[in-house]
């Protein structure tokens, strides 16, 4: 898989100290060719899965106590123990303005990890999110007649 080679090369150079990661503001991102800030997408969230090897996924806040994500993000937790936390208000977990533990999650009943179909999961929080300037629910839902669509913004670090 040749598309992984540039990332492996950069990672190797970083480990050896031969390549410096740019020290620009990590909060900025590019959306449709324009630089944006986290406050422009306050419904963006980051789920961190605390297990033997921590991982994470970009997500969207859909209510004061629920986050929508890809079902594949939760798949490994079916087989291993681990905790999940939601980070809000920043694209960098250390800079988050609010952190909420996840109480439970549900996957789409027809989710198929082999094909990726119905790749949808919802995480439910122990406590509600205090909506404000840095975090709010996603109000950009697609008003499809069949109600199959939802815009999900992923804010990847």
CA 116 to chain centre: 17
Q: Is the pLDDT of residue 152 over 50?
A: no
DSSP, collapsed to helix, strand or coil, labels residue 2 as helix
Give the integer Cα–Cα distance in Å for 84 and 74: 9
Name the one residue in this structure whose structure tokens are 């909060």.
27
Give the list of residues 6+ apart from residue 103 with CB closer than 8 angstroms, or none: 124, 125, 126
pLDDT digits (tens, 9 = 90+) for 55-113: 778 888 888 888 888 888 887 666 566 688 888 876 667 777 788 888 888 999 999 98
The pLDDT mean for the chain works out to: 67
Return all residues near 64 (Cβ < 8 A) that are at least 6 apart: 128, 129, 131, 137
Secondary structure (3-state) at 13: helix
pLDDT at 6 over 50: no
Rounded to whole angstroms, the Cα distance separating 156 from 14 reads: 20
Helices (H) and strands (E) in the chain, counts: 2, 8
Q: According to the model, what pLDDT value does residue 30 have? A: 52
Structure tokens at 103: 């109480």
Which CATH code is given to the segment(s) 38-125? 2.40.10.10
Higher pLDDT, 15 or 42: 42
Backbone angles phi, psi at 96, to 5 degrees: -60, 145
């Amino acid at each position: 898989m040749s598309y992984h080679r540039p990332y492996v090369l950069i990672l190797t150079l970083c480990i050896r100290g031969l390549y410096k990661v740019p020290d620009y503001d990590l909060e900025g991102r590019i959306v449709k060719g324009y630089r944006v800030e986290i406050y422009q997408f306050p419904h963006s969230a980051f789920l961190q899965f605390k297990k033997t090897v921590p991982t994470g996924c970009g997500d969207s806040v859909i209510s004061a106590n629920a986050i929508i994500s890809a079902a594949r993000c939760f798949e490994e937790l079916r087989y291993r123990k681990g905790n999940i936390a939601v980070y809000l208000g920043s694209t960098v977990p250390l800079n988050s303005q609010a952190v909420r533990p996840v109480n439970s999650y549900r996957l789409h009943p027809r989710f198929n990890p082999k094909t990726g179909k119905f790749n949808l999961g919802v995480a439910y929080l122990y406590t509600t999110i205090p909506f404000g300037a840095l975090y709010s629910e996603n109000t950009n839902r697609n008003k499809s007649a069949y109600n199959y669509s939802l815009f999900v913004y992923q804010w990847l670090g």
